[in-house]
Structure 1
Amino acid sequence: MSRARGYKSHLALAYEADYGQPPASPAGYNMPMNQSKLAIKQTLIDSATIRSRRDQVQPATGNTDVSGSIVVPIDQIGFGFWLRAMFGNPVTTGSGDPYTHIFKVTESQPSLVLEQQYPDVPAYEMFNGCKINKFSFTYGGDNELTANFDILGAKRTVDAAPLASTLSNIPVLKFNNFQGSIEEGGSPLAIVTEASLNADFGLDGNTYTIGSGGYRTSLPEGLLQISGNIKAFFEDTVLLSNAVNNTASSLKFKFVSGTHSLEFFMEEVIFQQTSPGIESEKGIFITLPFKAFYNNGSGGSAIVATLVNNYASYATA
Structure 2
Amino acid sequence: MARAQGARAQMALAYETIYGTPPVGGFTRMPFASTSLGSEQPLLNSELLGYGRDPLAPIKDAVTADGDVMVPMDAEAFGFWLKAAFGDPITSGVGPYTHEFRSGSWTLPSMSIETGMPEVPRFAMYSGCVLDQLSWQVQRSGLLTATARLVAQGEAIATTTASGTPAELGLRRFGHFNGAISRNGSALGNVVSAEITYANNLDRIETIRSDGKIDGADPSIAALTGRIEVRFADSTLVTQAINGDPCEISFAYVLPSGESLTFTAHAVYLPRPRIEISGPQGVQATFDWQAAKAASPARMCTATLINDIEAY
TM-score by length of 1: 0.94
- The residue identity in structure 1 corresponding to 2:84 is A
Q: Which residue of 2 aligns with 1:249?
A: 247
Listed one character per residue, the Cα deviations across residues 165-218 of structure 1 (whole Å, up to 9, x for unaligned) are 10112221100101100111221112212121111111012x222234210111
How many angstroms apart in 1 are the aligned matches of 2:51 and 2:111?
A: 49
TM-score by length of 2: 0.96
Out of 303, 306, 309, the residue aligned to residue 304 of structure 2 is 306
For 2:7, what is the secondary structure of its paired residue?
helix
How many angstroms apart in 2 are the aligned matches of 1:177 and 1:227?
A: 20
Q: Which residue of 1 aligns with 2:185?
A: 186
Q: Which residue of 2 aligns with 1:198?
A: 197
Q: Which residue of 2 aligns with 1:66?
A: 65
How many angstroms apart in 2 are the aligned matches of 1:21 and 1:174?
A: 31
Alignment of 1:1-317 (within 5 A): 1-23=1-23, 25-50=24-49, 52-96=51-95, 98-105=96-103, 106-205=105-204, 207-258=205-256, 259-298=258-297, 300-314=298-312
- The residue identity in structure 1 corresponding to 2:45 is D
- Displacement of 1:156 in angstroms is 0.5
Listed one character per residue, the Cα deviations across residues 69-114 of structure 1 (whole Å, up to 9, x for unaligned) are 1101110111001011111111111112x21100012112111111
For the Cα contact (< 8 Å) 1:138–1:196, is it kept in 2? yes
How many angstroms apart in 1 are the aligned matches of 2:53 and 2:288?
A: 57
- The residue identity in structure 2 corresponding to 1:253 is F
For 2:61, what is the secondary structure of its paired residue?
strand
- Displacement of 1:53 in angstroms is 4.0
- Displacement of 1:248 in angstroms is 1.2
For 1:162, what is the secondary structure of its paired residue?
coil
How many angstroms apart in 1 are the aligned matches of 2:302 and 2:107?
A: 16
For the Cα contact (< 8 Å) 1:63–1:208, is it kept in 2? no
- The residue identity in structure 2 corresponding to 1:251 is I
For the Cα contact (< 8 Å) 1:11–1:36, is it kept in 2? no
For the Cα contact (< 8 Å) 2:63–2:212, is it kept in 1? yes
For the Cα contact (< 8 Å) 1:268–1:297, is it kept in 2? no
Listed one character per residue, the Cα deviations across residues 220-267 of structure 1 (whole Å, up to 9, x for unaligned) are 111100011111111111110000110111100100112110000111
Aligned residues: 310
Identity %: 30
Unaligned 5+ segments in structure 2 are none
For the Cα contact (< 8 Å) 1:36–1:116, is it kept in 2? no
Q: Which of 35-44 and 78-87 deviates more?
A: 35-44
For the Cα contact (< 8 Å) 1:198–1:226, is it kept in 2? yes
- Displacement of 1:116 in angstroms is 1.0
Listed one character per residue, the Cα deviations across residues 268-297 of structure 1 (whole Å, up to 9, x for unaligned) are 111111122112201111111211111422
How many angstroms apart in 1 are the aligned matches of 2:250 and 2:280?
A: 32
How many angstroms apart in 1 are the aligned matches of 2:202 and 2:242?
A: 33
- The residue identity in structure 1 corresponding to 2:250 is K
Unaligned 5+ segments in structure 1 are none
How many angstroms apart in 1 are the aligned matches of 2:16 and 2:9?
A: 22
How many angstroms apart in 1 are the aligned matches of 2:37 and 2:306?
A: 30
How many angstroms apart in 2 are the aligned matches of 1:210 and 1:231?
A: 46
How many angstroms apart in 1 are the aligned matches of 2:98 and 2:199?
A: 25
Let me know the Cα RMSD of the aligned residues.
1.3
